[in-house]
Amino acid sequence: MTQPLRVALLGCGVVGSEVARQLLGRPEEFAARTGASLELSGIAVRSLDRERPGIPAGLLTTDARALVADADIVVEVMGGIEPARSLILSALESGASVVTANKALLAQHGTELIKAAHDAGVRLEYEAAVAGAIPIVRPLDDSLAGDRVTRILGIVNGTTNFILDKMDAEGSAFDEVLAEAQELGYAEADPTADVDGHDAAAKAAILSSLAFHTPVQLDDVHVEGIRDVSPQSVELAREQGYVIKLLAICERVAADDAAGMEPGVSARVYPALIPRGHALAAVRGAYNAVFVQAEQAGSLMFYGQGAGGAPTSSAILGDIVSVARRRVLGGRGKYSPATGRLRIVPLDEIPTQYHVTLDVADKSGVLSRVTEVFAARGVSIESVRQTVSEQEAAEGRATLVISTHRSVESALAGTVGDLKDLDVVNDIRATLRIEGAA
């Protein structure tokens, strides 16, 4: 273990306080994953008055500058342009690595910040700035770096997707659904940044810069919001097999000599009709998804929660671990991912859910004989379904399909073994498990 790394947190709102609680609550895990203990050195806040559950008051300070000057890793979750920009620049210049979730700042001053990090030889990470918990920044920046991205279609704003999804599902009007979203906390009191597309535009600028290795700023993005989307448009779209989604679109434009078109990139945000069969059409509620097309990779999609304290903190903590590892190892090598020694649990001990198809004798009392076998093993049955085809009837047989509740695999396997010995069971036709049920 090397020296502890001092982590300074700028901001203590929904996201900041979640990041603080995680860092304070799981110190051994972060140490095991980075090779150094991560010490939360302080949290810069605007005012010390407010109560913050789970956050020791001694960590709070209003002197962000002093906190930054003494940190190895600076985590900026205060939002806004200033003083966030100045604090990040001063952190980078003093040799700290920076993790930020500030999409507006990156969309306007990303080039400056990335250059400052590069010049200082430190890392600037911002996975949380686009689509919350969904890993999309690193995949574009690293995984697809050897490919040529041609197009990105993103649902990157949860508020507008929630509204459009409700309008589609219920036929209601924009104003009505917006009011409801505000009540539920899915939309801000001032919803401008979301419904007029500015939030999505900032993300489109960041995604375009990453995907096309060219600086794209907020002003370069064409923006239209969803205020004018009418119930009639939603209805017409549905009738024609479409659904309306607010899309952030980033496109590589090929040269077209015939049309006198030079190559370039296009970044734009507007509500658009997409076919209901498209993978993005299935993105419901406040979820986010980013659909990426690349020359070699083909079509990829990344799906998950795009906002909220916990999901956003997941992305930020991932960035913190990532920059901490680099500081510990100087970027060469990699901290062994297999640091733990959890035991391998044999299948027998795992709770699973069985779906058993039996060929049984078609006579009275069979069902009770069969269900007794389950009961004897303590396995509870969720549903039984008996069918008799014409041929089965002629042969005095029936098909019994039984779904169980969750039970330990060994009990389920034992039950199936017992069923084999039952005289009323002719054959066990299939034993499958059910997964992914709620």
Taking CB under 8 A as the rule, does residue 381 contact a copy of itself? no
Cβ-proximal residues to 124 (8 Å cutoff; 6+ apart), any chain = 88, 92, 97, 98, 99, 100, 113, 114, 116, 117
250 annotated among ligand-binding-site residues: no
Write down the residue that tokens 């076998």 correspond to: 373
14 contacts a copy of itself (rule: CB under 8 A): no
Determine whether the annotation assigns residue 414 to a binding site. Answer: no
Which residue in 203, 245, 334, 420 is the catalytic one? 203
Q: With contacts defined by CB under 8 A, how many residues of the chain interact with a copy of itself?
A: 138
- The answer to whether 318 contacts a copy of itself (rule: CB under 8 A) is yes
What SS3 state is found at 236?
A: helix
* Positions in 213-252 near a copy of itself (CB under 8 A): 213-216, 220, 222, 228-230, 232-233, 236-237, 240, 242, 244, 247, 249, 251-252
Rounded CA separation 124/92 (Å) = 8
Q: Which is nearer to a copy of itself, 394 or 437 (CB)?
A: 437
Known binding residue 15? Answer is yes
Residue 86 as a binder of a copy of itself (CB under 8 A): the answer is no
- Beta bridge partners, 246, equal 271
Please tell me whether 14 is known to bind a ligand.
yes
Residue 303 as a binder of a copy of itself (CB under 8 A): the answer is yes
Count of alpha carbons within 13 angstroms of residue 156, beta-carbon side: 33
DSSP state of 84: H
28: three-class secondary structure by DSSP: helix
DSSP for 262-275, written as a single string: PPEEEEEEEEEEEE
CA distance 92 to 88: 6
CA torsion, points 67, 73, 77, 80, in degrees to nearest 10? 70
How many Å apart are CA 147 and CA 280, to the nearest integer? 22
Is 80 annotated in a binding site? The answer is: no
Cβ proximity of 157 and 300 under 8 Å: no
Q: Which of residues 128-147 bind a copy of itself (CB under 8 A)?
A: 133-135, 138-139, 141-147
Which of 77, 84, 207, 320 touches a copy of itself by CB under 8 A? 320
| 115 is known as an active-site residue | no
Q: Hey, is 259 helix, strand or coil?
A: coil
Residue 10 marked as a ligand binder: yes
Give, as ranges, the residues between 195 and 214 that touch a copy of itself (CB under 8 A). 209-210, 212-214
Q: Pattern of binders to a copy of itself over 146-185, x per CB under 8 A?
A: xxx----x--------------------------------
Stretch that binds a copy of itself, among 175-183, 187-195, 269-277, 420-428 (CB under 8 A): 269-277
Among 37, 172, 403, 410, binds a copy of itself (CB under 8 A): 403
Select the span of 40-48, 58-66, 106-114, 160-168 touching a copy of itself (CB under 8 A): 106-114
390 is in an annotated binding site: no
76 binds a copy of itself, rule: CB under 8 A: no
Q: By CB under 8 A, is residue 315 in contact with a copy of itself?
A: yes
- Going by the DSSP 8-state scheme, the letter that residue 263 receives in this structure is P
Question: Per-residue x/- marks for a copy of itself, 270-299, CB under 8 A?
Answer: xxxxxx--xxx-x--------x--xxxxxx
Phi/psi region, residue 80 (left: phi>0; alpha: psi -120 to 50; beta: rest), is left
Scan for tokens 């203590």, then name that residue. Answer: 12
Task: Determine the 3-state secondary structure of 253 from DSSP.
Answer: strand
In angstroms, what is the minimal distance from the CB of 266 to a copy of itself? 5
Based on C-alpha coordinates, what's the Rg of the chain? Answer: 28
* Structure-token match 């982590």, residue found: 7
Query: How many other CB atoms are there within 10 angstroms of residue 192's CB atom?
Result: 12
From the annotation, which residues make up the binding site for NADPH? 103
From the annotation, which residues make up the binding site? 10-17, 103, 188
Which residues does the annotation mark as catalytic? 203
From the annotation, which residues make up the binding site for NADP(+)? 10-17
